[in-house]
Chain A
């Protein structure tokens, strides 16, 4: 059973978001990393890039598949997890911890309403897996 953390928000595209004031830390969920299996490369774009909610901000490459990473909120990318350049498997090992990907400075708090809570996300992946 995939781990879902209560305090986080989620997207339908399997990103998680930790909100801290106007900063959103973003990663992919435990469920997503399980589905992708061995992650070999993560491309997170560059600091300073402006993204819109739902836009692809990077790509994640596993042995068997490549997926886009979608921005859960609009804003500016202010920080990138550089450790993933050399150790992308952190996403497999600690998807909610050291496997975080980017921090986005939120430009529109109202958009947070579009995100799923833990319960909503649990329902979503319940549907996906059944």
Chain B
């Protein structure tokens, strides 16, 4: 990228043009007391070559998933990313485009968003998908505001089995509005239905569940739905899009709002993102949906065209009454997801999901046969599961790193929820297996775990 600094002559010319003698004089309107007069604590300038060397050295501390075998999950997964995705999203027409306010100049971007929405609706079996949000966690939090507005009720119940970080985001989003949040306890890795029955009443706006949940376990969505709707609350489901290749989609178990993290649909699991927030709902709730919606229409000459058909008006003209302040989307990530879904197709998604299921169960079964190890929960799971370890999981993770294996997530790192395993001498490891893992790679992890066989 070219960088063209201005010269001393340029500066003089500019100062002269605006009629001040020096840069300092420009700052005169800023009170003396808040002006910084010292020298900035910056290192000496270095040459381009030196900068490159420095950054390369720093970057070499990074570890890439191309050199490691990853069993990491908890929201970000090492699924295969077909090459065509990067090829398409790197096109400058998409890469440099910003929020498409003007239909006249944004037909490609608008159509891409429209296709994304259509594909997501089909995958989730929901009526409407918005143009996307920041990530799965913020989409879940937005659902709380929406549910509160729709029901004129205030309280939110959150399943304890939701990713603790997602719950944190929900708490942050709902704090200002003083929305009471209550966690619903779990038993054997799923929502305790009796607990839910006890907590739910007509003050509850929505019940938030994750399916498969943080532990990878499948929730009893059918039973949950009945309990939630009996009390007139809304069911908000946070799902793994890949799982929908084989699991019942949220629309079919009557979820009112369904959200999800779209990283698994063709986006790298880089630290910090960018991720993709999927947000869908029933058609009757469309006017309360956060974000925006692209739609297909015909122009005055009868030709097909795409426009931003709906964006919550309150965000622009009645902000005091807004239920959301998102005025953007993750267009490039949504495009990646759209390309992923169209490349994979119905059969492809099913195949990916089936492989995740088969491989994770192969690994889980092998690990549970190692003496001292075992599965934490007996309930069915999809691609992720919790293993009880005879020693603290951190110890295993460290040892695995040396063998270029990312063994999983140490559940001891998560506070804020206290399952009864804290008393256990060993630890708990959350392991995810995607379609990318080979038998050889899994056997390598199994061999390593055998080091601690009791």
Interface of A toward B, CB cutoff 8 Å: 41, 43, 45, 49, 61, 65-66, 68
Q: How far is the CA of A61 from the CA of B317 in the complex (A)?
A: 11
The closest CB in chain B to the CB of A45 belongs to B152
Which residues of the partner chain B approach A43 to less than 8 Å between Cβ atoms? Answer: 287
Q: How far is the CA of A45 from the CA of B149 in the complex (A)?
A: 10
Which residues of the partner chain A approach B321 to less than 8 Å between Cβ atoms? Answer: 68
Those of B317-345 within 8 Å (CB) of chain A:
317-318, 321
A–B pairs, 10, beta carbons within 8 Å: A41-B287, A43-B287, A45-B152, A49-B152, A61-B313, A65-B317, A66-B313, A66-B314, A66-B318, A68-B321
Most chain A beta carbons < 10 A, residue from B287, B313, B317: B313
| Chain B interfacial residues counted at CB < 8 A | 7
Q: How far is the CA of A97 from the CA of B16 in the complex (A)?
A: 68
Interface of B toward A, CB cutoff 8 Å: 152, 287, 313-314, 317-318, 321
Q: How far is the CA of A65 from the CA of B152 in the complex (A)?
A: 23
Q: What distance in Å separates the Cβ of A21 from its nearest Cβ neighbour in chain B?
A: 28
Which residues of the partner chain B approach A66 to less than 8 Å between Cβ atoms? Answer: 313-314, 317-318
Which residues of the partner chain A approach B318 to less than 8 Å between Cβ atoms? Answer: 66
Q: Is the interface of A mostly helix, strand, loop or mixed?
A: strand
Q: Is the interface of B mostly helix, strand, loop or mixed?
A: helix
Which residues of the partner chain B approach A41 to less than 8 Å between Cβ atoms? Answer: 287
Q: What distance in Å separates the Cβ of A20 from its nearest Cβ neighbour in chain B?
A: 27
Q: What distance in Å separates the Cβ of B148 from its nearest Cβ neighbour in chain A?
A: 14
Q: What distance in Å separates the Cβ of A30 from its nearest Cβ neighbour in chain B?
A: 24
Q: How far is the CA of A128 from the CA of B251 in the complex (A)?
A: 49
Which residues of the partner chain B approach A61 to less than 8 Å between Cβ atoms? Answer: 313
Which 9 residue pairs across A and B have the least CB separation, nearest first? A66-B313, A66-B318, A66-B317, A61-B313, A43-B287, A65-B317, A41-B287, A66-B314, A49-B152
Which residues of the partner chain A approach B152 to less than 8 Å between Cβ atoms? Answer: 45, 49
Q: Known A-B contacts: A66-B313, A66-B318. Give 9 more (CB < 8 A).
A: A41-B287, A43-B287, A45-B152, A49-B152, A61-B313, A65-B317, A66-B314, A66-B317, A68-B321
Q: What distance in Å separates the Cβ of B286 from its nearest Cβ neighbour in chain A?
A: 10
Q: What distance in Å separates the Cβ of B114 from its nearest Cβ neighbour in chain A?
A: 21
The closest CB in chain B to the CB of A41 belongs to B287
Q: How far is the CA of A4 from the CA of B318 in the complex (A)?
A: 29
Which residues of the partner chain B approach A49 to less than 8 Å between Cβ atoms? Answer: 152
Q: How far is the CA of A61 from the CA of B314 in the complex (A)?
A: 10
Q: How far is the CA of A66 from the CA of B152 in the complex (A)?
A: 20
Q: How far is the CA of A66 from the CA of B320 in the complex (A)?
A: 12
Q: How far is the CA of A43 from the CA of B149 in the complex (A)?
A: 12
Which residues of the partner chain B approach A45 to less than 8 Å between Cβ atoms? Answer: 152
The closest CB in chain B to the CB of A40 belongs to B313
The closest CB in chain A to the CB of B312 belongs to A66
Which residues of the partner chain A approach B317 to less than 8 Å between Cβ atoms? Answer: 65-66
The closest CB in chain B to the CB of A68 belongs to B321
Q: What distance in Å separates the Cβ of B33 from its nearest Cβ neighbour in chain A?
A: 44
Q: How far is the CA of A66 from the CA of B318 in the complex (A)?
A: 7
Q: How far is the CA of A45 from the CA of B314 in the complex (A)?
A: 17
Q: What distance in Å separates the Cβ of B222 from its nearest Cβ neighbour in chain A?
A: 27
Which residues of the partner chain A approach B287 to less than 8 Å between Cβ atoms? Answer: 41, 43
Q: What distance in Å separates the Cβ of A128 from its nearest Cβ neighbour in chain B?
A: 20
Q: What distance in Å separates the Cβ of B231 from its nearest Cβ neighbour in chain A?
A: 16
Q: What distance in Å separates the Cβ of B289 from its nearest Cβ neighbour in chain A?
A: 13
Q: How far is the CA of A45 from the CA of B317 in the complex (A)?
A: 21
Q: How far is the CA of A49 from the CA of B317 in the complex (A)?
A: 26
Q: What distance in Å separates the Cβ of B428 from its nearest Cβ neighbour in chain A?
A: 45
Most chain B beta carbons < 10 A, residue from A43, A49, A66, A68: A66
Q: What distance in Å separates the Cβ of A81 from its nearest Cβ neighbour in chain B?
A: 17
Q: How far is the CA of A66 from the CA of B317 in the complex (A)?
A: 8
